[in-house]
Amino acid sequence: MAMASNALTRRAFGKLMMAGLPAARLAALQRASNRSLIGGVQFGLQPFCYHDLAMTPDNRGTLVKRLVQNGMGMVELHATWVEPRFAGAGVSAADARDKLRAWRLSKPVDHYRAVKKEFDDSGITIFSYYVNINDTYTDDEIDAVFDGAKMLGALGCVGSQGLKVSERVAKFPGRHGMFLGIHNHDNLSDPDAFATEASFEKGLAFSPDIKATLDTRHYTAANGDCLGFLERHHERVSSVHLGDRRKNNGRSTPFGEGDAPIIEILRMIRDNHWPIMALLEFEHGTLRPQVQEVQLMFDYCKRAVLS
Amino acid sequence: VIRRAALAACVATVLAGAHGVSGQSPAAPAAAAARPDYDIGYLGAPLPDPLMQHNKETYVSFGCAYCHGLTLIARGEAADLRLSALVDADVDGSTIVALLKSGIPQTPKLSPMPQFSDLSDQQLHAIARYIHYARGKAFFDEQCVGCHAQKPNSVPASARPPHDSALKNYTPSQVADLVAYLKAK
């Protein structure tokens, strides 16, 4: 397999990814000295996993330290870690929302660059930017969100928006050379929700710039077949949110105690050299410190790909 | 009526000696220090009552705290268990255990609550008991601590909420939650 130059810029990588280059080539390109590239699989974290850490700008420094402590070189960063908070005493929700929109539209380039530097300096790549775009977003605001995400180095924006909003947003990522990630939950009764393979197929059809962020926990709880989904749609999958749950709307569990085929998923990604990021995300409870719990789950994954 | 009177009497008895109730037993931090795997920063020091501590750990271990919060301050779209009519109606797990076994079906607006049918009845009842304890603590901290965390009778009677010895202004579920909390403190 040809290895890419480490000098390849993230912008170039994004363009190549969007251009649909062969998966093995893309996997090689992503191997740019990242500390959580393990056994051929690029791992990262959705920091929801740090249940005790509120996702605020004030806690961003702690987040970076924890990511390094856990050996993570990649993150999916929720917008709330980045954007200032306007809610507070004496500020209505509507006012806070307006102020946030105005902040986004002000194109705070220096702010995004400073945040990116915090992660860069610690050797952490921001793979995707998690933001729940909804009907309150103006077109200009959606563009501003993609602009901001790009300045952070992200290749795409991911969110829990449903089909209707995804259809509206589908035209935006291409303008920025990025992708829009669609993320599933296990709500099988909402026709607008991403939960089944059929709902993903509808969403992916809106634009080639839409990619699937397959949440293995919720897909398993909704009695979906993660391996079959990846087999059929891997070319349109940007990442998996890797975690465990039991079938039939069962509870979240530590990795290996539920029904999600985590080991098989990871080996499928590894053996096929698919450029699918494995972003750990879990909701199961623990009495242990959160960094310790993340490490245990990460170690489980490492064993899966190193053996 | 008899049950409520008995509960109220229990509350009154415990409240009569309640001061510094928000504090933990001096032994609690030491116990936590002996458990390096216990996240004392997030979970707080172990409760003085080991049985209630077990209930709390069950509530946390099976992920309830992730959505409903350690102190029942919910995250995201999860129900606020402090205000839940279903918890109000629960007596010794009568409604909570059944709900945990079945889960809550999804609606077009809300994600479903997972079902926990693989847990034992003991575990499910432990979760129910912790929910009542935590509600009682939340209620105490909000309504009672102003007088009862002080030295007894340091707050003039005229300044106290008029609950009198029968706690007649409180609902049966509030009284039951207070009992769950005060018995375990």
* CA–CA gap between residue B110 and residue B128 (Å, rounded): 23
Query: Does A4 score more than 50 pLDDT?
Result: no
| Environment class of A9 (CB within 10 Å of its CB; exposed 0-12, middle 13-18, buried 19+) | exposed
- Residue A123: per-residue pLDDT: 95
User: Which H/E stretch holds residue A128?
Assistant: strand A125-130
Query: Does A22 score more than 50 pLDDT?
Result: no
CA-wise closest residue to A65 among A302, A290, A285, A297: A290
Q: Measured between CA atoms, how close is A273 to chain B, in angstroms? A: 34
* CA–CA gap between residue A116 and residue A33 (Å, rounded): 18
- Mutation target for A interface from B99, B115, B120: give the one with most A CBs within 10 A: B115
Give A70's DSSP letter: T
Q: Measured between CA atoms, how close is A266 to chain B, in angstroms? A: 25
* Mean pLDDT value across residues A11-39: 59
Question: B177 pLDDT band (50/70/90 cuts)?
Answer: very high
Residue located via tokens 């008029």: B162
Per-residue pLDDT of B54-92, as tens digits, reads 999 999 999 999 999 999 998 777 889 999 999 999 999
Query: Does A26 score more than 50 pLDDT?
Result: no
Query: Does A99 score more than 90 pLDDT?
Result: yes
Per-residue pLDDT of B119-170, as tens digits, reads 999 999 999 999 999 999 999 998 888 777 766 566 676 776 666 665 777 8
CA distances from B3 to A130, A198, B9, B92, B179 (A): 51, 54, 10, 13, 12
The minimal CB distance from A285 to the residues B41, B66, B105 is found for B66
Closest-approach residue (CA) in chain B for A289: B39
Query: Does A261 score more than 90 pLDDT?
Result: yes
Q: Measured between CA atoms, how close is A246 to chain B, in angstroms? A: 9
The reply to whether A192 touches chain B by the CB within 8 Å rule is yes
* Mean pLDDT value across residues A19-34: 51
* CA–CA gap between residue B112 and residue A121 (Å, rounded): 40
Question: A157 pLDDT band (50/70/90 cuts)?
Answer: very high
pTM over cut 0.90: no
Per-residue pLDDT of B3-50, as tens digits, reads 555 555 655 555 554 444 444 444 555 555 567 789 999 999 999 999
- Residue B144: per-residue pLDDT: 84
Given an 8 Å threshold on Cβ–Cβ distance, is A283 in contact with B66? yes
Given an 8 Å threshold on Cβ–Cβ distance, is B60 in contact with A249? no
Per-residue pLDDT of B160-171, as tens digits, reads 666 666 577 788
Average pLDDT of every residue of chain A: 91
Which amino acid makes up residue B123?
Q
- Residue B164: per-residue pLDDT: 63
> Token pair of B98, please?
């059944």
- Residue B99: per-residue pLDDT: 96
The reply to whether B77 touches chain A by the CB within 8 Å rule is no
Given an 8 Å threshold on Cβ–Cβ distance, is B116 in contact with A251? yes
- Residue A126: per-residue pLDDT: 97
Question: A79 pLDDT band (50/70/90 cuts)?
Answer: very high
Given an 8 Å threshold on Cβ–Cβ distance, is B115 in contact with A248? yes
| Helix ranges, B17-144 (H) | 27-33, 40-43, 50-61, 64-68, 85-88, 96-102, 121-139
Q: Are A131 and A180 in contact (CB under 8 A)?
A: no
Q: Are A192 and A134 in contact (CB under 8 A)?
A: no
Question: A1 pLDDT band (50/70/90 cuts)?
Answer: very low
Given an 8 Å threshold on Cβ–Cβ distance, is A191 in contact with B108? yes
* Mean pLDDT value across residues A50-54: 90
The minimal CB distance from A221 to the residues B38, B67, B114 is found for B114
Query: Does A127 score more than 50 pLDDT?
Result: yes
Query: Does A21 score more than 50 pLDDT?
Result: no
CA-wise closest residue to B163 among B185, B131, B183, B140: B140
Give A158's DSSP letter: E
Question: B104 pLDDT band (50/70/90 cuts)?
Answer: confident
Query: Does A149 score more than 70 pLDDT?
Result: yes
In this predicted model, which residue has the larger pLDDT, A155 or B1? A155
Question: B185 pLDDT band (50/70/90 cuts)?
Answer: confident
Helix, strand, coil percentages in chain A from 3-state DSSP, rounded to 5:
45, 15, 40
CA-wise closest residue to A219 among A228, A206, A210: A228
* CA–CA gap between residue A189 and residue B124 (Å, rounded): 27
- Residue B76: per-residue pLDDT: 76
Contacts with A82 (C-beta within 8 Å, 6 or more apart), sequence order: A57, A60, A111, A112, A115, A129, A148, A152
Contacts with B31 (C-beta within 8 Å, 6 or more apart), sequence order: B45, B46
* CA–CA gap between residue B39 and residue B31 (Å, rounded): 12
What pairing do the DSSP bridges indicate for beta strands A41-45 and A37-38?
antiparallel
